[in-house]
Structure 1
Amino acid sequence: MYDYAINRRWSDQYLPEVKRIVGAQLLQAAPDDLDMKHATDLLTLDARDMRIAARIRRPGFADRYPYEFTIRSSVPSGAETELAKIVNGYADWMFYGHAAPDGSLASWWLIDLRAFRAALIRRAHGSLSSGEVWNRDGSSFRWFDIRSFPSQPPLVVAASAFPAAGLRRTP
């Protein structure tokens, strides 16, 4: 049976690292004029609040599925899932990380969910590589191949590293 509390406790151990990584993407150095005249050293990327989903995969998946990210698409209870919430417009970005056996993050992507939704809307005009995987507990995940998304708008805001040519790390 899908156990939200157990999975939440496990993934929450990574939140300090996720906050450090995402925070670095949201802040930028202020221009000299703002620094000199308005005591402003840092600016946020966007003036409105940013809602960020976070998903951490357990160790071992990064090597097996280096180009894929997954989003829970069903649970036995029939409750609304992450995929439904994202498709319905909730969350702006998704931090998608792979845990390493030592408890650190092995790799990660910061995905722009507005670009994700745009690609889903335009799916009829292109081919997104995706599929459904069922777990023993009756829940399922939809996987998406990051390489199959259009280059515009960019899906990836930032990443720890990309395993192949054609995918570039955003500074």
Structure 2
Amino acid sequence: MPYAEDRLWFDKYIEAAKVIIGPHLLCVSSFEIDTTQAADLVVFTAKNVTIACRLRREGYAGRYPWDVTIRAKRDSGAKTELSKITDGWGDWFFYGHVEGEVIGRWFLVDLTKFRAKLIRGKERLKLKMIPNSDGTHFVSLDVRNCPDVVLASSHEVPA
């Protein structure tokens, strides 16, 4: 599917993704800040946090409940999400499954930890390359092989 069509579909769910991700950017303020500055919550802003997002169309969550797929190769040679991630871009990766009109099953992945796993123990990740009929290829990561890279999820990740 062309990027423009994919983007139109994805944009229907961006507000729902923000609702899920947002609480992970908030921290409860310290006692001192609460009592002296009238702030109960603090937005986590050590630096700008960049978040890559990928949503799967309906029907995949049941078949691949623990998989996170990342575009790893294009036959055209265009840069992929995995190459951008390995180049150091992105802090978090939100991966969700659309169910009806909502985002059902989802994972929020710490890309710094994921990159460390790629460097130090790629074989433990057991990444599988999956070709698509449209000239793209994905790697599939089963989060049960590395639950420590998952910051949050809709379902508890078994170790």
Answer yes or no: same fold by TM over 0.5: yes
Q: Does the CA contact (< 8 Å) of 2:144 and 2:158 recur in 1?
A: no
**Distance in 1, Cα, partners of 2:29 & 2:125:** 38
Q: Percent identity?
A: 40
Aligned residue for 2:152? Answer: 158
Aligned residue for 1:16? Answer: 15
Amino acid at match of 1:4: Y
**Distance in 1, Cα, partners of 2:116 & 2:91:** 12
1:46 CA displacement: 4.0
> How many residue pairs get matched?
159
Correspondence list, 1:17-166, <5 A: 17-100=16-99, 102-123=100-121, 126-149=123-146, 154-162=148-156, 165-166=158-159
1:52 CA displacement: 0.3
Deviates more, 1:18-27 or 1:68-77: 68-77
Amino acid at match of 1:59: E
Structure with the higher strand share, 1 or 2? 2
Aligned residue for 1:169? Answer: none
Amino acid at match of 1:105: I
2:47 counterpart SS class: coil
**Distance in 2, Cα, partners of 1:158 & 1:46:** 18
Write the deviation string for residues 61-107 of structure 1: whole angstroms up to 9, x where unpaired: 1111111100011223321110100011000000000111x121111
Q: Could you tell me the TM-score, scaled by structure 1's length?
A: 0.86
1:45 CA displacement: 2.8
2:61 counterpart SS class: helix
Write the deviation string for residues 89-139 of structure 1: whole angstroms up to 9, x where unpaired: 000000000111x12111101000001000000126x52211111111111
**Distance in 2, Cα, partners of 1:77 & 1:44:** 40
**Distance in 2, Cα, partners of 1:111 & 1:123:** 17
Tell me which stretches of 4 or more aligned residues in structure 1 moved more than 2 Å.
Answer: none
**Distance in 1, Cα, partners of 2:127 & 2:11:** 27
Deviates more, 1:48-57 or 1:115-124: 115-124
Q: Which consecutive residues of structure 2, in runs of 5 or more, have no partner in the other structure?
A: none
Q: Could you tell me the TM-score, scaled by structure 2's length?
A: 0.92
Q: For the aligned residues, what is the CA RMSD?
A: 1.6
Write the deviation string for residues 140-169 of structure 1: whole angstroms up to 9, x where unpaired: 1111111122x6xx201111113x643xxx
